[in-house]
Structure 1
Amino acid sequence: MRSSSQWRPWRCLGRPRPLNSALTALRSPKPNQTARKQTSYFLSSPSLRCSSHTSSACESQVVVLAGPTGVGKTEVSIALARRLYEATGRGAEVISADSVQVYQGLDVGSRKLCGLERARLERECSLPYHLIDVLSPREQYTAGDFYEQASKKCGEVLSRNRTPIVVGGTGFWLRWLVSGRPATPRSDKRARDRARSMIEQARHPGLGGAAGDDAEWARATALLRDAGDPETARRLNRNDYFRLERALEVVIRTGKPMRDHLAGGGNRGGNGLDLRCFFLHPPSRLGLYRKLDASCASMVEGGLLRECGDLLDLGLEPGTSTSTNAVGYRQFMEYLLLERGRFVAQEEGGERQPWDPSEADFLVAFSEFQKQTRRLAQDQLTWFRNEPKFEWVEVAAREGGGVEEAAGRILGRAMEAEAESGPREWDNRGKGYLTRAEERELKGYGGGAGGL
């Protein structure tokens, strides 16, 4: 009899029968082109020079591109780098601000350009990438780590007379980079342990407590709200227990919310960089959600479950670290663990029938994956409404020239000859909200508007 430690069904989950039929039933119109085709498009598309600009305004600038997942940040950054070179002769280098792409082996679920594509971009248009594949999934990577390493990388790129383009959607990291490192106290074991214990008790209160991720998250964030930091409780991404624990630890230790510890920042980040910040947003929330749902199916076909199996092989549990709490990885790690329980029970019962994964449970995990992906996009839109240093730029469909148009607008703004004054502040409080028509459309889409 095989032991549970030898159980490796995810090795065959690339194309099992239930997975095939589930994907066939769920398949939206074919997802967007692969990363290779997208990259080829930008490398071969006609040049659109901006010869009226001068290069002097870009010599010390760092361009920051944020946006919700799936909006097209990678495509816009590649187009922007090409345009920048055509207009100024300055090359660019991309610095990732993605809390999942920083991990080795988390490729499919993070929509990471593969190593071959990154090598091709560096070879064919001199566009290197940084802060991708730098850590094992076992390791934690904090906003402080990102602040130090991204600031250092930006300085190195500028010293090579090139332009850093920081690309990602991790709002907490980008706030540190743009506004300066918060003056939060160093972590204290006693306060951290207390915060962790309080959160665990809130998540699992015993009898009388509603079950499910949403209910657990609501109870856990209520702790932070009641402790005196309702703003952070409201703005944290769902199920980001790592940052929730840190925020609660700070309140426990100092009696003050995270906001009171933020550095002043001014127009420049605490690292002295001249940052020009842009938030890419879709013209239609429903269009973005449809694209994300199709992308989820594409990621499952592309090997997401295999990557989840690799995380389990490392001895990691879902939801216990930054890597295993990432959308997609957590849902399918839980699914695989559920299937492992069935496998072990079948083996111990002496059944001779081959293991067959549950299609119904797969569909539940897949639906949750799609829902949490849409929620991540919603949370990112909400977060950046409150980031006044980011100018919102719409990105329409690539087929209609939306990517090139967005890249051109960003280049024009970044090259304005006012670098010495730093970025202006924008009132984004009215951005990204749904119209009544959009609300009606979303109510009829999939599982509804998802709480929007």
Structure 2
Amino acid sequence: MKPKEKLLVLIGPTAVGKTKLSIQLAKQFNGEIISGDSMQIYKGMDIGTAKITPEEMEDIPHHLIDIRNPEDPFSVAEFQELVRGKITEITARGKLPMIVGGTGLYIQSILFDYQFTEAASDSEFRQELERVAEEKGNEELHNRLREVDPNSAERIHPNNVRRVIRALEIHHCTGKTMTAYQAEQQPELLYETCLLGLTMDREWLYERINKRVDIMMDQGLVEEVKGLYDKGLRDCQSIQAIGYKELYDYFDGKVSLEEAIENLKQNSRRYAKRQLTWFRNKMEVKWFEMSPIEKENKKYFAEISTYIEGKLQIKANT
């Protein structure tokens, strides 16, 4: 039987320090990094997605960044296919594949044998829902989802019509919520996986998130989002990203710039909290508590390296 490919996964809330640590680990373990962030695939969405810069990469190869235009849809199934291909490519080069960042569902879709098939599919029902969205609006569909699957409704934005319809379709075809349907599709891990999570004291983390938003504004986030707005991009998946939808409200005249910035900070903090809760409840993650003081993280790096060596049975570069 062919041995499983080794895979290192590094997850954690925004602003916790994943990017810097991932570069250190890639150097230490001869790794190549696959972005697990479904929004970093989009070209021209750099500041709001906290996309790593060429300088920050320090010559470590990065994959699945800038591979789609902002108007393009991108599904979990596509992500699954692309990432699995990259894992095999990187392994064949004698390197360690590393997934950095990403939402719970996207990471799960890689690690477990999720089948994104038409098994729970009804094209007529789907077309009927599309008609409802067109005639009565996105909120009508979202309210229907909230009635049958409140967990999915909490996770999926009303404007992400495609995912709302998919969740309703799964319930219609199987009688199960999307969460329950996916839970049944979790057999053994497909890879020899080391799943690491970074966390931080809540107050420190929230302070760092607020500061990161201020830095994004200084870097030109308003101009970046205005460029997309002026192109007429609207009602597409990319614009639902935190950092973009809030500024669209400002450009639409719904809120002041100050309110938009505060909403962005609040949504980022809430998202970080949801992600931590999701990973803690759904997956077996080895957590490491990070410090906002950089020099204190050296001891964590040593602990993390030792854990990876033991978990994946590999040696760090000396």
The change in CA–CA distance for 1:197 and 1:160 in structure 2 (over 3 A counts) is same
Match of 2:20 among 66, 69, 75: 75
* Residue number in structure 1 paired with 2:6: 61
Aligned residue among 204, 214, 230 for 1:297: 214
Determine if the alignment matches structure 1 residue 275 to structure 2 residue 193: yes
Residue 250 (structure 1) shift: 1.6
The structural deviation recorded for 1:407 is 3.1
User: For 1:116-161, what per-residue CA distance to the aligned partner results, in whole angstroms no more than 9, with x for missing partners?
Assistant: 443xx11xxxx10000011000101111111111111011111111
Alignment-mate amino acid for residue 226 of structure 1 = E
Counterpart contact for 1:101–1:110, Cα < 8 Å: yes
TM-score calculated relative to the size of structure 1: 0.62
Unmatched 5+ residue regions in structure 2?
314-318
1:110/1:417 CA distance change after superposition, 3 Å: closer
Q: CA deviation at 1:321?
A: 2.0
Aligned AA (2:169): E
After superposition, the C-alpha distances for 1:155-181 in whole angstroms (9 at most, x for unaligned) are: 111111110110013221101111222
1:392-431 to structure 2, matched below 5 A, reads 392-402=287-297, 404-416=298-310
Match of 1:243 among 140, 159, 163: 163
Cα distance change of structure 1 residues 278 and 315 upon mapping to structure 2, 3 Å threshold: same
SS at match of 2:246: helix
SS state at 1:401 partner? helix
Secondary structure in 2 aligned to 1:279? strand
Q: In the alignment, is the contact (CA less than 8 A) between 1:327 and 1:372 conserved in 2?
A: yes
Partner residue of 2:275 out of 358, 380, 384: 380
Kindly indicate whether residue 263 of structure 2 is the aligned counterpart of residue 329 of structure 1. Answer: no
On the 8 A contact 2:31/2:95 being kept in 1, the answer is: yes
Aligned partner of 1:164 in structure 2 is 97
Q: Which amino acid aligns with 1:308?
A: V
Distance 1:132 1:316, change over 3 A: same
* In 1, Cα distance between equivalents of 2:138 and 2:275: 24
1:98 aligns with 2:37: yes
Which residue in 2 is equivalent to 1:286?
203
Q: 1:196-207 to 2 correspondence within 5 Å? A: 196=130, 201=136, 204=139
Tell me the C-alpha RMSD between the 2 structures: 2.7
2:187 is aligned, of 258, 266, 272, to: 266
CA apart distance, 1:79: 1.8
Contact 1:64 1:166 in 2 (8 A): yes
Change in CA separation of 1:261 and 1:238 when aligned onto 2, cut-off 3 Å: closer
Q: Deviations over 1:204-250 (max 9, x none)?
A: 57xxxxxxxxxxxxx93x532432x344345x255573433321222
Q: Is the 8 A contact 1:232 1:247 kept in 2?
A: yes
TM-score by length of 2: 0.86
- Cα pair 2:40 2:65 within 8 Å, conserved: yes
CA distance in 2 between partners of 1:405 and 1:137 (Å): 40
CA separation of 1:117/1:365 partners in 2, compared to 1, >3 Å: closer, same or farther? same
Instruction: Determine the C-alpha separation between the residues in 1 that align with 2:130 and 2:300.
Output: 43
- Tell me: CA distance 1:399–1:314, structure 2 relative to 1, closer, same or farther (3 Å): same
Residue 252 of structure 2 aligns to which amino acid in structure 1? L
CA contact (8 A) 1:63 1:164 kept: yes
Structure 1 CA distance for aligned equivalents of residues 70 and 218 of structure 2: 22
1:139 corresponds to which of 60, 72, 91: 72
- 2:173 maps to 253
Separation of aligned partners in 1, 2:176 and 2:307: 38
Alignment of 1:208-227 (within 5 A): 220=142, 223-227=144-148
1:240, 1:279 → 2: CA distance? 30
Deviation at 1:115, TM superposition (A): 3.4
For residue 107 of structure 2, give the secondary structure of its aligned residue in structure 1.
helix
Q: How does 1:160-199 map to 2 (within 5 A)?
A: 160-182=93-115, 185=118, 188-196=122-130
On the 8 A contact 1:183/1:262 being kept in 2, the answer is no
**For residue 299 of structure 1, what is the amino acid of its counterpart?**
M
- Residue by residue over 1:274-298, the C-alpha shift from the partner in whole angstroms, topping out at 9 and shown as x without a partner, is 221112111x111111111111111
Say which of 84, 96, 104 aligns to 1:151: 84
Structure 1 residue 361 corresponds to structure 2 residue 263 = no
d(CA) in 2 for partners of 1:414, 1:260: 32
CA–CA distance in structure 2, aligned partners of residues 225 and 239 of structure 1? 10
Partner amino acid for 2:202?
A: R
Q: Say if 1:406 and 1:101 are closer, same or farther in 2 by CA, change over 3 A.
A: farther
**d(CA) in 2 for partners of 1:185 and 1:414?**
37
Q: Is the 2:12–2:199 contact (alpha carbons within 8 Å) kept by the matching residues of 1?
A: yes
Moved more, 404-413 or 72-81: 404-413
SS at match of 1:277: strand
Q: Rate the CA distance shift 1:61–1:407 in 2: closer, same or farther, 3 A.
A: farther
Question: SS of 2:52's equivalent?
Answer: coil
- Identical columns (%): 30
Distance 1:313 1:184, change over 3 A: same
CA distance in 1, matches of 2:176, 2:268: 32
Residue 20 of structure 1 is matched in structure 2 by none
Q: Which amino acid aligns with 2:7?
A: V
Q: Choose 1 or 2 for highest CA Rg.
A: 1
Preserved contact between residue 6 and residue 312 of structure 2 (Cα < 8 Å): no
